[in-house]
Amino acid sequence: MSAAIRPHSTVSAWQPPVPGIAEVFHARFTDHAYPAHVHDTWTLMILDGGRVDFGLDRERHGVGGSDTVALLPPGVVHDGRTVTEAGFRKRVLYLDASVLPESLTGAAVDAPLLLDAALRDRVHGLHRALGVRELPAGAVERLEAQSRLAFVQERLRTWLEGRPVVPYGAPGPDTAVRLRELLDARVLGGITLEEASALLGHAHPTHLIRSFRQAFGLPPHAYLTGLRVAKARRLLLAGMRPAEAAVAAGFYDQAHLTRHFGRHVGISPARFARSGRM
For the chain, domain boundaries: 10-161, 174-275
The region, left, alpha or beta by phi > 0 then psi within -120 to 50, assigned to residue 18 is: beta
The pLDDT, as a whole number, for residue 32 is 86
Top-level class of domain 10-161: mainly beta
DSSP annotation of 103: G
Can you tell me whether residue 263 is helix, strand or coil?
A: helix
Measure the CA–CA gap between 278 and 12, rounded to whole angstroms: 8
Contact present, 43 and 63 (Cβ < 8 Å): no
* Cβ partners under 8 Å of residue 132, min gap 6: 139, 141
pTM of the model: 0.82
- Would you state the pLDDT for residue 2? 41
The whole-number pLDDT of residue 205 equals 82
Quote the pLDDT of residue 194.
84
User: Phi/psi zone of residue 202: left (φ > 0), alpha (ψ -120 to 50 degrees), beta?
Assistant: left
- Identify the CATH class of 174-275: mainly alpha
**pLDDT score at 165:** 67
The stretches of 51-139 forming alpha helices (DSSP H) are 105-110, 117-130
**Burial (CB count <10 Å: 0-12, 13-18, 19+), residue 130:** buried
The series of mean pLDDT values per 10 residues for the chain, 278 residues long, is 55 92 94 91 95 90 87 94 88 96 92 94 94 68 87 94 71 82 92 88 82 89 94 96 96 93 93 83
